[in-house]
Amino acid sequence: MSKERLTATFEELAIPLFDQLYNFAHWLTQDRSEAEDLVQETYAKALRGFASFRPGTNFRAWIYRILRNTFLTSRAGLKASVPLDSDDLAEPSAGPDTPETLLMERSQRLVVQHALAELPVHFREILLLCEVEEMSYLEIAETLAIPIGTVMSRLSRARRALRDRLRQKLPGERNG
């Protein structure tokens, strides 16, 4: 395949994922500038290594793995701090927005954010990939380069750890 066609094929696959990759990078770095740098470096590495990508395999998982590995070897990744922005967890409310309901929703989002931030990185990233990025177990396995059985068990342990932390933090959730 010519270099021009290779670049065009890369662009066809990579450009639609830009916003998702940026969001994931921002969740990991918690800094817009670092997220932009991380995505830029990810795209540069992916383009350089695109000849090694096997057509017919999962490009999304492939480029997410590059982003994750780039983060983990970066200064920010070595610190292993992956807090989330409370706005990233926002969901539209079902009822009318009153100051009281908005305050309660924001308060609960902050509790979830803090509980998630307390989890080890391997639990946070698997929850983000599954629940936020909506990746399948197979995509997560490919992204993290782990067996699918490990994905399922790690996800189960991560959900349990998050649930336990939330029970300690949310009023009325201790016995539920």
Backbone angles phi, psi at 72, to 5 degrees: -65, -30
> Which letter does DSSP use for residue 9 in this model?
H
Confirm whether 126 is domain-assigned. Answer: yes
Mean pLDDT computed over 31-44:
93
Any domain includes 176: no
The identity of residue 67, as a single letter, is: L
pLDDT at 43 over 90: yes
Q: Which domain holds residue 39?
A: 3-79
User: CATH number of the domain that 151 lies in?
Assistant: 1.10.10.10
On average, the pLDDT of the chain sits at 80
Binning pLDDT at 50, 70 and 90, where does residue 90 land? very low
168 pLDDT higher than 60: yes
Domain-ending residue, one of 40, 63, 79: 79
pLDDT at residue 7, as a whole number: 84
**Contact (Cβ atoms closer than 8 angstroms) between residue 104 and residue 22:** no
Q: Are residues 163 and 90 in the same domain?
A: yes
Whether residues 119 and 148 share a domain: the answer is yes
Which residue's structure tokens are 């699918």?
148
C-alpha closest to that of 137 among 151, 117, 122: 151
Alpha-carbon distances of 173 from 44, 101, 133, 154, rounded to whole Å = 46, 18, 26, 23
pTM confidence score:
0.65
Contacts of 54 (CB under 8 A, 6+ apart): none
